[in-house]
Amino acid sequence: MKIVIKLGEVLKKRGMTQKELAKLTGIRESGISALVRSSQTSFNKEQIAKIATVLEITDIKELIDFEIAN
């Protein structure tokens, strides 16, 4: 199973840039960028919580999804 962070999609829907999100969450731009690119192999749950709060996400499935590998 693979965890997929859909941050890029969410930012696009909300018309927000990575830089703006970084400023609002206090997370470095490089950290936001890594999440958008899904290049991070792990993530900090506090960061995800900050992002969800700033983006007013109430259903975590809007931000995180799971893919089952065949």
Amino acid type, 66: F
Distance CA 19, CA 57 (A): 19
At residue 23, the pLDDT reads: 98
At residue 2, the pLDDT reads: 80
Split into its structural domains, the chain has a count of: 1
Would you give the DSSP letter of residue 66? E
Would you give the DSSP letter of residue 41? S
pTM for the model: 0.84
How far, in Å, are 6, 10, 69 from residue 13 at the CA level? Answer: 11, 5, 27
Which residues contact residue 43 at a Cβ distance below 8 angstroms, ignoring those fewer than 6 apart? 5, 35
Write out pLDDT tens, residues 8-24.
999 999 999 999 999 99
48 alpha carbon, distance to own chain's centre: 6
Whether the pLDDT of residue 40 is over 70: the answer is no
Write out pLDDT tens, residues 41-69.
677 889 999 999 999 999 999 998 888 87
Instruction: Write the CATH number for 55.
Output: 1.10.260.40
Domain boundaries, position 25: 2-67
